């Protein structure tokens, strides 16, 4: 069998954990399997790199940021190869260049386009464990790129898809996917299985246990994932197309604090105003999430929308630059907001999920600032300080506990 195993930062945070992971991989190798291991940077090293960069330049160029980021993953794979060698197993570390992990050119948020498998196959044929840096790629300018925070999961799934691996195992610091972040919602329950679609929504809406693009890619290429603990032998959660979910109304609750609300107040109420605003944002490559337009009054209207906190400054900047075209009375930005969502395929055929969500927030005295829904989710924007309370309230209201 060809197995791709991915270990996150906490799983390789120190020497003991590195050896623990090394032994886990060697076990599969000794059983005769081909083993590819994808690693993240040790512990919170990527965060430390962000701090170091901002200390030098509060708005560092994205290209240089990626150049800096890649050292984190490179350190992990090199040390792991040394650990495996110390344990008498031949292993080799490869970075994105050595593999040739081709991505789009956008720094900080690149997408994997193509992976050359020759070098990896060659090393596997030599009976080596192949250790590959997660999170990083190379673009057409021969520069390093990164896939977005948490992107090592995506590297693992992309490798599993490209090499037709038999298994793709994501090892992390929790023993599976829960109905909500178990660190926030103490009563959260571990799921044995979850569908790609539900996991994709949860991941996109803030459940950081998997990078959302990894789920997107797993669905596209039919790569079945298992998410499990690197520290225990617990079974974990399987992510696949048709999961036999206990047919719950809602399968999970997620929150995203990396959110800001921008309100453009007093725009002229005529055709083309919304187009002008969102066209400007799209051209500046800014992802807009929730959108709310007020009813027109006195020939004016307001449009509010959310963006990630990281892109709020850029959004404000382009709006300011296009002041003449948009001509708003004023622009406001609120950064202390968070999105809380409930997700579940069950809500497609059951009315009343939104009402239940709003009722539980009302009972907890939490004010809703914005609402958006899809067939399988309800999202509300609230004050950031209420996030944990809202998550627990929703988790209780939908009966997700054990
Ligand atoms: P890694 O470094 O292994 O990639 P991450 O920190 O990226 O680990 O992801 C694991 C974390 O995801 C957990 O520690 C947990 O706090 C968080 N998390 C958020 N939502 C969920 C969820 N629904 N189920 C499990 N963990 C979750
Ligand atoms: N080290 C990167 C990060 O912290 C990638 C990852 O962990 O998946 O975002
Ligand atoms: Mg992660």
Q: How far is the CA of 355 from the centre of ligand 2 (A)?
A: 37
Residue 261 has which token pair? Answer: 């609300």
Q: Closest Cα to atom 4, ligand 2: which residue?
A: 46
Asked whether residue 79 carries a pLDDT value surpassing 90, the answer given is yes
| Ligand 2: nearest atom to the Cα of 211 | 8
Q: Is 134 in the pocket of ligand 1 (CB under 6 A)?
A: no
For the stretch 164-175, pLDDT in tens is 999 999 999 999
Q: Ligand 1 test: best mutation among 11, 38, 170, 173, most atoms within 8 Å of CB? A: 173
pLDDT at residue 302 in the model: 95
Q: Is 148 in the pocket of ligand 1 (CB under 6 A)?
A: no
- Work out the mean pLDDT of the chain and round it to a whole number: 95
Which percentage of the chain shows pLDDT scores above 70?
A: 99
pLDDT at residue 245 in the model: 59
| Confidence at 189, pLDDT banded by 50, 70, 90 | very high
Q: Is 43 in the pocket of ligand 2 (CB under 6 A)?
A: no
**Looking at residues 100-125, what average pLDDT do you find?**
97
Q: Closest Cα to atom 17, ligand 1: which residue?
A: 209
Degrees, nearest 5: CA angle 99-103-107: 115
pLDDT at residue 151 in the model: 98
For the stretch 342-364, pLDDT in tens is 998 888 778 889 999 999 999 99
For the stretch 202-246, pLDDT in tens is 999 999 999 999 999 999 999 999 999 999 999 999 999 986 656
DSSP-derived 3-state class of residue 37: strand
- Compute the distance between CA of residue 16 and CA of residue 36 in angstroms, rounded to an integer: 21
Q: Closest Cα to atom 6, ligand 2: which residue?
A: 150
Q: Ligand 1 test: best mutation among 150, 208, 228, most atoms within 8 Å of CB? A: 208
Q: Is 150 in the pocket of ligand 2 (CB under 6 A)?
A: yes
- Compute the distance between CA of residue 222 and CA of residue 161 in angstroms, rounded to an integer: 8
Q: How far is the CA of 349 from the centre of ligand 3 (A)?
A: 32
Q: How far is the CA of 380 from the centre of ligand 1 (A)?
A: 21
pLDDT at residue 247 in the model: 64
For the stretch 299-317, pLDDT in tens is 999 999 999 998 999 999 9
Asked whether residue 81 carries a pLDDT value surpassing 70, the answer given is yes
Reported residue count of the chain is 402
Q: How far is the CA of 291 from the centre of ligand 3 (A)?
A: 28
- Compute the distance between CA of residue 217 and CA of residue 107 in angstroms, rounded to an integer: 19
Q: In what order do the strands lie in the sheet with 330-343?
A: 291-293, 300-307, 252-268, 330-343, 377-383, 370-374
The alpha carbon of 381 is separated from its chain's Cα centroid by a whole number of angstroms, namely 19
Specify the range with the lowest mean pLDDT, choosing from 134-143, 180-189, 288-297.
Answer: 288-297
Asked whether residue 402 carries a pLDDT value surpassing 80, the answer given is no
Closest alpha carbon to 5 in 20, 25, 26, 31: 25
**Looking at residues 239-257, what average pLDDT do you find?**
84
Q: Where are the beta strands (DSSP E) in 197-251?
A: 225-229, 237-240
Between strands 193-195 and 237-240, the pairing is parallel
**Looking at residues 134-162, what average pLDDT do you find?**
98
pLDDT at residue 137 in the model: 98
Q: Ligand 1 test: best mutation among 181, 234, 238, most atoms within 8 Å of CB? A: 181
**Looking at residues 7-27, what average pLDDT do you find?**
98
The alpha carbon of 306 is separated from its chain's Cα centroid by a whole number of angstroms, namely 18
Q: Is 209 in the pocket of ligand 1 (CB under 6 A)?
A: yes
């Amino acid at each position: 069998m060809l197995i791709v195993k991915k270990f996150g930062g906490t799983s390789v945070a120190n020497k003991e954990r590195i050896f623990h992971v090394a032994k886990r991989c060697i076990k599969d190798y000794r059983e005769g399997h081909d083993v590819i291991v994808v690693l993240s940077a040790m512990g919170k090293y990527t965060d430390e790199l962000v701090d170091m960069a901002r200390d030098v330049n509060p708005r560092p160029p994205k290209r240089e940021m990626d150049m800096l980021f890649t050292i984190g993953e490179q350190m992990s794979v090199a040390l792991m190869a040394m650990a495996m060698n110390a344990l008498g197993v031949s292993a080799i570390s490869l970075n994105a260049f050595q593999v040739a992990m081709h991505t789009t050119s956008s720094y900080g948020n690149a997408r994997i386009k193509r992976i050359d498998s020759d070098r990896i196959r060659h090393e596997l044929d030599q009976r080596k464990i192949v250790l590959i840096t997660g999170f990083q790629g190379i673009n057409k300018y021969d520069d390093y790129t990164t896939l977005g925070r948490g992107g090592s999961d995506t590297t693992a799934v992309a490798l599993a898809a490209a090499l037709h691996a038999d298994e793709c195992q994501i090892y992390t610091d929790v023993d599976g996917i829960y109905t909500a972040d178990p660190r926030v919602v103490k009563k959260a329950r571990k799921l044995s299985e979850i569908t790609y679609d539900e996991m994709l929504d949860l991941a996109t809406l803030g459940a950081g246990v998997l990078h959302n693009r990894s789920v997107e890619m797993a669905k596209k290429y039919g790569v079945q994932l298992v998410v499990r603990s690197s520290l225990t032998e617990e079974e974990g959660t399987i992510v696949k197309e048709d999961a036999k979910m206990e047919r719950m109304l809602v399968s999970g609750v997620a929150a995203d604090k990396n959110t800001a609300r921008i309100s453009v107040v007093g725009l002229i109420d005529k055709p083309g105003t919304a187009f002008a605003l969102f066209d400007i944002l799209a051209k500046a490559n800014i992802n807009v999430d929730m959108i709310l337009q007020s009813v027109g009054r006195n020939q004016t209207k307001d449009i509010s929308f959310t963006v990630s906190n990281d892109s709020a400054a850029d959004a404000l900047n382009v709006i300011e630059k296009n002041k003449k075209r948009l001509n708003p009375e004023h622009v406001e930005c609120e950064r202390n907001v968070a999105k809380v969502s409930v997700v579940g395929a069950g809500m497609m055929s059951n009315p009343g999920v939104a009402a239940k969500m709003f009722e539980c927030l009302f009972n907890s005295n939490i004010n809703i600032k914005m609402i958006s829904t899809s067939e399988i989710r309800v999202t509300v924007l609230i004050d950031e300080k209420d996030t944990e309370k809202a998550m627990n309230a929703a988790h209780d209201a939908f009966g997700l506990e054990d």
